[in-house]
């Protein structure tokens, strides 16, 4: 697991900010996707935000690795 992943997971667990960390990440990815449409990183950001929006609309399952995520947050 790289440093970025560790810090993001740590921030998600800690929630030590006035705004929920997951909301900040979502909006940052959404903005990034809109500003970088013709790049792989922009496409990936778009796919991630689309998964979130689809799940919120209850169109698709939210997690591809549900068992592994449960272990992280137990």
Run of H or E residues at 11: helix 3-14
Separation between Cα atoms, residue 47 and residue 50, nearest integer Å: 5
Give pLDDT, residue 41: 97
Does residue 60 register a pLDDT over 70? no
Confidence category of residue 50, pLDDT binned at 50, 70, 90: very high
pLDDT tens readout for residues 16-41: 999 999 999 999 999 999 999 999 99
Relative orientation angle of helices 21-35 and 40-56, to the nearest 10 degrees:
130
What is the pTM assigned to this prediction? 0.77
């Amino acid at each position: 697991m790289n440093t970025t992943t560790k810090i993001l997971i740590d921030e998600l667990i800690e929630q030590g900010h006035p705004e929920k960390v997951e909301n900040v990440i979502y909006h940052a990815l959404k903005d990034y996707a809109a500003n970088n449409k013709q790049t792989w990183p922009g496409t990936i950001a778009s796919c991630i935000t689309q998964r979130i929006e689809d799940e919120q609309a209850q169109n698709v399952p939210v997690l591809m690795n549900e068992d592994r995520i449960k272990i992280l947050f137990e």
